[in-house]
């Protein structure tokens, strides 16, 4: 696309810097999205400045100490020691960069409405030091229209006009913590700019860094909607799997066997699996950005909301199953000793954002259960404002439990040892698929 456009002199200069990897690139927000992106940009040869409001984070980065699972410790240490990557809380250094990627949180508030305050705050800080020819790319997942309706007006308070004096684009993050095959570097990227020139320049930056394909779309809104579609697709299909699990349990059918059988069809079916609830930074949250935005157009996203209701109800279903399982042994949930295996939202990571295990723990506590959590990836976690340490897995802990519940199927759990020493196992992840006969009493979600 870049060859077809008549670029302005400042745009040609920026393109030359990006293609020659002579540009200085800023990354705002050094969390699960921002730090891996900053590392990849620095590895590609760019000088990178990472910005974050948390001084502890910037200090860790500058000391070469990694805190994100998808970043290689040695790579971060090498990049920071060579000063290819530096981190700061001083946003005046925005004046030194040629391009900025904004990777800050966009959570939902208690009313299930998008909270864009982190984006707005970042834009306000950037606007103070915005200069001509600069590229700004928003990566935070959000509702369609955010780039133009929220970000652009704040940036233009600088006196510079988007699409004329500086370049503005949206390119949604695609981060799947713990994925062994796809990471920031090799995952295809979608880019939509305010103008064709904005799109081409943003795409050029990503092509200079990433191995995956860079797919250009016609506007930020298309790119924003595309990201919502990705995660809404998963949310709804997981909702279907969870509803099937509830129905299959009532009918005495193994839902996991049903799904595995359906997955043998080579076309028209994609396997999604049930679980104790939805977790993570995207799937439980992103669809509700669209639900909120759709109301502006007097439209109600019924399918999204129904899937959300099913998924959000899974912790209640899990608690109901726990009570039934204990009742079979003439035990009450009140006072029962329950060992939960895993508190992270998915296997082999320490990420606890929106973990469905937390509401399960809340419900167990309200019911009077005596619970402990084992998680080799999480040393401690917060529940209702209080910090709890996780416990080491051992035979005594298991044998003394009234019920052992597998909530996160970490690879490094010793499943055979768990099966041989647990009086009752409630498996919400089908992790004991090959060991069911070795468990004294086995219950599957």
Q: Which helix (H) or strand (E) holds 387?
A: strand 386-389
Tell me how far apart the alpha carbons of residues 76 and 64 are, in angstroms, rounded to a whole number. 6
d(CA 169, CA 369): 50
Residue 427 φ/ψ, nearest 5 degrees: -100, 110
CA distance 238 to 244: 10
Query: Which of these, 114, 181, 123, lies nearest to 142 by C-alpha position?
Result: 114
Residue 282 annotated as catalytic: yes
Rounded-to-integer distance, Cα 392 and Cα 375, Å: 8
Residues near 40 by beta carbon (within 8 Å), at least 6 away in sequence? 184, 185, 209, 210
Of 60, 84, 88, 57, residue with least CA distance to 73 = 60
Cβ atoms 51, 81 nearer than 8 A: no
DSSP assignment of 280-340, as one string? SSSTTTHHHHHHHHHGGGT---HHHHHHHHHHHTHHHHHHHHHHHHHHHTT--STT-EEEE
Point out the catalytic residue in the list 103, 198, 248, 282: 282
Task: Compute, in degrees rounded to 10, the torsion defined by CA atoms 383, 386, 390, 391.
Answer: -120
Q: CB under 8 Å to 111, separation ≥6 — which residues? A: none
Give the sign of the dihedral formed by CA 432, CA 436, CA 442, CA 445: positive
Which candidate, 427, 405, 422, 432, places its Cα nearest to that of 340? 405
Residues involved in catalysis: 282
């Amino acid at each position: 696309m870049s060859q077809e456009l008549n670029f302005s002199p400042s745009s040609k200069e920026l393109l030359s810097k990006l293609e020659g990897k002579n540009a200085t690139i800023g990354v705002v927000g050094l969390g699960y999205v921002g730090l891996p992106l900053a590392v990849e940009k620095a590895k590609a040869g760019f000088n990178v400045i990472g910005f974050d409001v948390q001084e502890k984070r910037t200090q860790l980065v500058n000391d070469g100490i990694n805190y994100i699972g998808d970043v290689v410790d040695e790579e971060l240490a090498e990049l920071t020691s060579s000063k290819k990557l530096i981190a700061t809380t001083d946003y005046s250094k925005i004046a030194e960069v040629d391009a900025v990627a904004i990777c800050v949180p966009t959570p939902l508030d208690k009313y299930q409405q998008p909270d864009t305050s982190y984006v707005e705050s970042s834009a306000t800080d950037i606007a103070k030091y915005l200069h001509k020819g600069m590229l700004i790319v928003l990566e935070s997942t959000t509702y369609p229209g955010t780039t133009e309706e929220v970000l652009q007006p704040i940036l233009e308070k600088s006196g510079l006009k988007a699409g004329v004096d500086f370049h503005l684009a949206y390119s949604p993050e695609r981060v799947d913590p713990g994925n062994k095959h796809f990471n920031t570097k090799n995952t295809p990227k979608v880019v939509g700019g305010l103008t064709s020139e904005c799109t081409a320049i943003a795409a050029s930056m990503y092509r200079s860094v990433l191995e995956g394909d860079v797919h250009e779309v016609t506007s930020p809104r298309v790119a924003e909607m595309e990201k919502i579609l990705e995660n809404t697709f998963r949310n709804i299909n997981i909702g279907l799997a969870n509803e099937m699990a509830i129905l299959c349990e009532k009918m005495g059918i193994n839902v996991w066997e049903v799904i595995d059988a359906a997955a043998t069809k080579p076309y028209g079916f994609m396997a999604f699996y049930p679980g104790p609830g939805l977790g993570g930074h995207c799937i439980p949250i992103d669809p509700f950005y669209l639900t909120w935005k759709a109301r502006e157009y007097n439209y109600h996203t019924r399918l999204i909301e129904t899937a959300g209701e099913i998924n959000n109800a899974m912790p209640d279903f899990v608690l109901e199953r726990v009570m039934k399982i204990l009742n079979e042994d003439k035990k009450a949930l009140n006072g029962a000793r329950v060992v939960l295996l895993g508190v992270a939202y998915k296997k082999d990571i320490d990420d606890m954002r929106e973990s469905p295990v937390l509401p399960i723990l809340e419900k167990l506590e309200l019911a009077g259960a005596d619970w402990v959590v084992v998680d080799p990836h999480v040393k401690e976690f917060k529940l209702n404002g209080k910090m709890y340490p996780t416990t080491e897995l051992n035979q005594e802990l298991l044998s003394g439990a009234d019920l052992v519940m597998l909530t996160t199927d970490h690879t490094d759990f010793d499943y055979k040892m768990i099966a041989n020493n647990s009086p009752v196992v409630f498996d919400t992840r089908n992790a004991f698929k090959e060991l069911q006969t070795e468990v004294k009493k086995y219950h599957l979600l």
